Amino acid sequence: MIPIRNRKKTLKVTVEEMRNFAFAYVEKYAPSKQQLKTYLLKKYLKISIPNVKKQDVTNLIDIVLSDLEKNKFINDQFYSDSKAKSMIQRGSSINKIRNYLLVKGINNQYIKETVEKIQGKNSDQDFYSAIKICKKKRIGPARTEDNRSLFYKKDISLLARNGFDFDTSKKVMEIEKEDYLRIIKLL
């Protein structure tokens, strides 16, 4: 039989545990600052340490997060840029990227800088992303010519759900098959 230990956790032990949980989470997922804060808060609300208030736990989490940020284990600017780059490669619109980063708790300043970088590299990024979506989902110009008019509304609504504005969606849907194939070869 294993003896039960009644060891009371002190705040110092709690901070060390929290730091270890944070390191393990950062190593596995590469989260934003807000994601890590939410994870640690959920972790410590489950454990429910006696004699420690919720406000003390949030203060400790803030201390651990500032330490990780100072040591460059978490960086919201880098997170924003890397997520935007991977989403662009998958064919996401700028609106979808912006909303994704807002949900992840990234600062508006970082989101604005990331969007400006994307638009600086390619002013018509949404058009090319919409082309990628058409290729991936086999819609719009990727369809056979006799089916394009039948599925026009369905295809344009799919592009809208992916965050593309009406003008961009309409522009993509009106591309000729030959032009579409040339653009795909360039991508």
Which residues of the chain are modeled with pLDDT < 70? 1-13, 48-52
**For the chain, what are the domain ranges?**
11-70, 76-116, 125-186
Written as six digits, the tokens of 94 are 């700028």
> pTM for the whole thing?
0.82
Cα(119)–Cα(10) distance, integer angstroms: 50
74-88 pLDDT, tens digit each: 999 999 999 999 999
Kindly write down the DSSP assignment for every residue of 67-78, as one continuous string.
HHHHTTS--HHH
Instruction: Look at residue 6 in the predicted model and tell me its pLDDT.
Output: 46
- How far CA 177 is from CA of 43, 142, 168, 171, 185, in Å, comes to 53, 7, 17, 13, 13
Instruction: Look at residue 10 in the predicted model and tell me its pLDDT.
Output: 60
